[in-house]
Amino acid sequence: MATYSTNEFRSGMKVMLDGDPCNILENEFVKPGKGQAFNRVKMRNLKNGRVWERTFKSGESIEAADVIDLDMEYLYTDGEFWHFMKTDDSYEQVAADAAAVADCQNWLKEQDVYQVTLWNDDPIAVTPPNFVELEVTDTDPGLKGDTANGGTKPATLSTGATIKGVPLFINIGDVLKVDTRTGEYVSRAKT
Amino acid sequence: MSDWRPSARFEHLQQRAGLLAQARAFFAQRNVIEVQTPVLAKHSVTEPDVQSIQVPDYGYLQTSPEYHIKRLLADGVPSCYQLGPVFRHGELGRLHNPEFTMLEWYRLDFNHRQLMYEVADLVDELLGPKPYQHLTYADLVGGVASGPREMLDLAFAEACERLTPGRFFITDYPADQAALARINPDGQTAARFELVIDGVEIANGYWELLDADEHRQRFAADGEIRRHRELPAMAVDEEFLGALEHGMPKCAGVAMGFDRMVMLACGAKDLSDVLAFRGTR
C-alpha cells in the first residue's frame, strides 16, 4: 500500500487515519526555530463527514486511502440500498447503504448523475450536483396575482424532501431548481 | 499557463525596502557595522532540528551567519550585523520558506538582557512602539516542562501561537535547549531569549558561549541525536572551533526573521504576501 509523508500532504489527498479514509483539507507546517517540526493537518473523515485536526511529526508517513470519486447514474432504491451505475458503458453497478447516501437522499432522481465516493470499491458517500431539478408533489395552492410581495411557503418534492423559501406562485407539478448545498429554492426550472 | 507573477504585491515590496533601509540606519547610528559573510560554505550547523541544504562539491547553504560572524569577532571585528538570505531544508509553510532573510547581530560586552532591550528598540523603530511582556519558558509551556523533548517543542510552538496580540520576551530556556548560549548560574537554564510578536516567533538571542571545549561537547551531543534520529551527519566546523580556541570576545548575539517582521509591518498573515517570489519544493 502506498504511503504519503507529511511533506507530500496536499489538500484533496486521501489518507487512512484510525482505520477510516480521510480527505486532507489543510496542512500547516509548525516549527519553533530551534525545535522539531510538525504538521498540523485538518482532515475530513469520509465515512462520517466529521472534520478533525491531528498533529504529526514532520516526515512521518501515513497510508494512502484507495478512494476514488466516480460520476454514477442513480437507478433505484430497494429500501435498503440505493443502486448506482457507472457512466462508462460498463453497466457496472454499486449499492450504497443509508449511511453512504445520507442527506443526498433528499436530492436523488432516477437517471440523474451523482458523485459516488468509493473506498476499496465500496461506496461510502454520495454527493449531489450543486443544483438539482425536482418536481413539486405537495404545496399550498398558489395565490393568484401574489407574485410581487416576496412571500414564500414550503414545498414537498418528489424525493420526499421539503424545502423552504418557495414563492407563492409555485404549484404542484412545477419543476424547481434547488441548491443542494443550502437546500434552498433557486428558480422554476425551464421547461 | 505558467504562474510567473510575484507572490507579493508591489506595496509590500516597497514597505520591505523601507524597513531594510530603516534597519541599516538603526545600526549605522549605533556604530554596528554591516558585514557580508558567505552564503555558501564548507560546513554548516550540527543542530538536529535545523537541516542544511547541501550543495554538491561546495558544502552547504548557510542556515545562519553565526559561525562566520563569530570568526570575524575572534579576529577583532567590532559589533556587527548581517542582513541577508539564509536557507533551511524542508521548511515551507505560512511562516516558513526554505530561503529567508535573516538579520543577525552581535554586540561586544552585552549580555542577553542588554541585547533584549536593543531588540525592543529596533522593533519599536520598525513596527512602532508597544509594550513588551516577559515570560519564562516554564511559564509558557506549563505542566509539560518535564516531558519528552518533542512534546515540549509542540507545546512551545502552540503556546507561542497563543501569545497574541502583543510582544513577548521568553527567557530561561531549559539548559538542554541552550544551543550556543551560556548556561545560567542556576545550572538549569540557558542565557537565551526569544521574542514572539502576535503569536509569531521573531528573534532568538544568546549571551554567547565562549568555551571551545563546551562547544565540542554540544556538537558531539548534536551528532548523537542526529545518529539516533537517522538524520544526515554533519562534520564539525574546525575553523569555527579554531576561532573559539584563539578566543572570542564576550558578546551577545541575536537572529531575527526579517521577512516575518515585514509580514507584521504589512499586516500580512502569510510570508507569500511579503516575498517577491515564494519558494517551492
Q: Which CATH superfamily is domain A67-127 in?
A: Nucleic acid-binding proteins (2.40.50.140)
CATH class of A131-188: mainly beta
The number of folded domains in chain B is: 1
pLDDT at residue B96 is higher than 80: yes
pLDDT tens string A2-31 = 999 998 999 989 999 999 999 999 999 999
List residues bridging with B55 in a β-sheet: B59
Q: Look up the ipTM and state it.
A: 0.90
Instruction: Report the alpha-carbon distance of residue B130 to residue B90 in Å, rounded.
Output: 34
- Residue A45 is predicted with a pLDDT of 94
Q: Do B157 and A31 touch (CB under 8 A)?
A: yes
For chain A, how long is the longest CA-to-CA vector? 74
Q: Do A36 and B150 touch (CB under 8 A)?
A: yes
User: In CATH terms, is domain A3-63 a member of 3.40.50.1820?
Assistant: no
Contacts of B154 in chain A (CB under 8 A): 30, 36, 38, 55
pLDDT at residue A148 is higher than 70: no
The span from the first CA to the last CA of chain B, in angstroms, equals 19
- Chains A, B: CB pairs < 8 Å: 57
Cell of B177: 535547549
Q: Do B93 and A28 touch (CB under 8 A)?
A: yes
Residue B254 domain-assigned? yes
With cut-offs at 50, 70 and 90, classify the pLDDT of residue A165: confident
CA angle B64, B66, B69 (to 5 degrees): 125
Residue B94 domain-assigned? yes
Lowest average pLDDT, out of A148-152, A155-159, B130-134, goes to: A148-152
**From the list A7, A32, A57, which residue is nearest B157 (CB)?**
A32
Range of the domain at B166: 10-273
**From the list A28, A36, A59, which residue is nearest B94 (CB)?**
A28
Contacts of B145 in chain A (CB under 8 A): none
Distances (CA, A) of A165 to A168, A169, A170, A173, A178: 9, 12, 11, 17, 10
> What's the DSSP call for residue A79?
S
Which burial class, exposed, middle or buried, applies to B10 when counting CB atoms under 10 A from its CB (0-12, 13-18, 19+)?
Answer: exposed
- Residue B2 is predicted with a pLDDT of 78
Q: Do A35 and B96 touch (CB under 8 A)?
A: no
What residues of chain B have any CB closer than 8 angstroms to a CB in chain A? Answer: 47, 49-50, 90-96, 149-150, 152-154, 156-158, 160-161, 177, 179, 194, 201, 204, 257, 281
The torsion region of residue B5 among left (phi > 0), alpha (psi -120 to 50) and beta comes to beta
Distance from CA of B230 to the nearest CA of A (A): 12
Contacts of A28 in chain B (CB under 8 A): 93-94
Q: Do B49 and A7 touch (CB under 8 A)?
A: no
Residue B171 domain-assigned? yes
pLDDT at residue A143 is higher than 90: no
The torsion region of residue B225 among left (phi > 0), alpha (psi -120 to 50) and beta comes to alpha
Cell of B6: 510575484
pLDDT tens string B108-165 = 999 999 999 999 999 999 999 999 999 999 999 986 666 788 889 999 999 999 999 9
pLDDT at residue B281 is higher than 90: no
Q: Provide, rounded to the nearest whole percent, the portion of chain B with pLDDT above 90.
A: 94
pLDDT tens string B218-267 = 999 999 999 999 999 999 999 999 999 999 999 999 999 999 999 999 99
- Residue A151 is predicted with a pLDDT of 82
In SS3 terms, chain B reads as CCCCCCCCCHHHHHHHHHHHHHHHHHHHHCCCEECCCCCEECCCCCCCCCCCEEECCCEEECCCCHHHHHHHHHCCCCCEEEEEEEECCCCCECCECCEEEEEEEEEECCCHHHHHHHHHHHHHHHHCCCCEEEEEHHHHHHHHHHCCHHHHHHHHHHHHHHCCCCEEEEEEEEHHHCCCECECCCCCEEEEEEEEECCEEEEEEEEECCCHHHHHHHHHHHHHHHHHCCCCCCCCCHHHHHHHHHCCCCEEEEEEEHHHHHHHHHCCCCHHHCCCCCCCC
* A106-115 mean pLDDT: 95
Residues of chain A with CATH 2.40.50.140: 67-127, 131-188
Residues of chain A with CATH 2.30.30.30: 3-63
Q: Do B94 and A7 touch (CB under 8 A)?
A: no
- Residue B28 is predicted with a pLDDT of 98
Q: Assign A130 to helix, strand or coil.
A: coil
Residue B5 domain-assigned? no
Domain of B245, CATH number, reads 3.30.930.10
With cut-offs at 50, 70 and 90, classify the pLDDT of residue B202: very high
Do B92 and A27 form a contact (C-beta atoms < 8 A)?
no
> Parallel, antiparallel, or unpaired: how do β-strands A14-17 and A3-5 relate?
unpaired
Residue B2 domain-assigned? no
> Parallel, antiparallel, or unpaired: how do β-strands B189-197 and B59-61 relate?
unpaired
Contacts of A10 in chain B (CB under 8 A): none
Distances (CA, A) of B227 to B43, B47, B56: 18, 12, 22
Q: Tell me: cis bond preceding B165? Omega within 30 of 0 counts.
A: yes
CA angle B189, B168, B114 (to 5 degrees): 60
With cut-offs at 50, 70 and 90, classify the pLDDT of residue A144: low
Contacts of A32 in chain B (CB under 8 A): 153, 156-157, 160, 201
Instruction: Report the alpha-carbon distance of residue B43 to residue B214 in Å, rounded.
Output: 19
**From the list A28, A29, A36, which residue is nearest B153 (CB)?**
A36
- Residue B144 is predicted with a pLDDT of 65
- Residue A147 is predicted with a pLDDT of 56
Q: Angle formed by the axes of helices B112-127 and B258-266, to 10°?
A: 40
